[in-house]
Amino acid sequence: MHPNASFWRGKRVLLTGHTGFKGGWLALWLQRLGAEVTGLALVPNTTPSLFDTARVSDGMCSRLCDIRDATAVAHLMQEAQPELVLHLAAQPLVRASYRDPLATFSTNVMGTANLLESLRGLASVRVAVMVTTDKVYRNLEHAYPYREDDALGGHDPYSASKAASELVIASYRDAFLAQQGVAIASARAGNVIGGGDWSEDRLIPDAVRAWQAGQTLSIRSRQAIRPWQHVLEPLAGYLRLAEVLWEQPELAGAYNFGPPTHEAATVEKVMKMASSPYPYCATSYQINSSHPHETAWLALETAKARSVLGVHPRWTLPQAVARTMDWYVKQHAGADARELCGVDIDSYESNE
Prediction pTM value: 0.96
User: CA torsion angle for 3, 7, 8, 10 (degrees, to 10)?
Assistant: 160
Q: Give pLDDT tens digits for 202-242.
A: 999 999 999 999 999 998 888 888 899 999 999 999 999 99
- Rounded-to-integer distance, Cα 65 and Cα 116, Å: 15
pLDDT classification of 143: cutoffs 50, 70, 90: confident
Strand 265-266 to strand 225-226: parallel, antiparallel, or no bridges (unpaired)? antiparallel
Query: What is the separation of C-alpha 154 from the centre of its chain, rounded to a whole number of angstroms?
Result: 18
pLDDT tens sequence across 181-203: 999 999 999 899 999 999 988 99
| Over residues 296-319, mean pLDDT | 93
Residue 289 pLDDT > 70, yes or no?
no
The pLDDT of residue 98 is: 95
Query: What was the pLDDT predicted at 298?
Result: 86
* Residue 324: closest CA among 259, 263, 221, 233: 233
Quote the mean pLDDT of the chain. Answer: 95
| Confidence (pLDDT) at 293 | 65
User: What does the pLDDT look like over 92-139, one tens digit per residue?
Assistant: 999 899 999 999 999 999 999 999 999 999 999 999 999 999 999 998
Fold for 5-349, please state it. Answer: Rossmann fold (3.40.50)
- Residue 14 neighbours by CB distance under 10 Å: 30
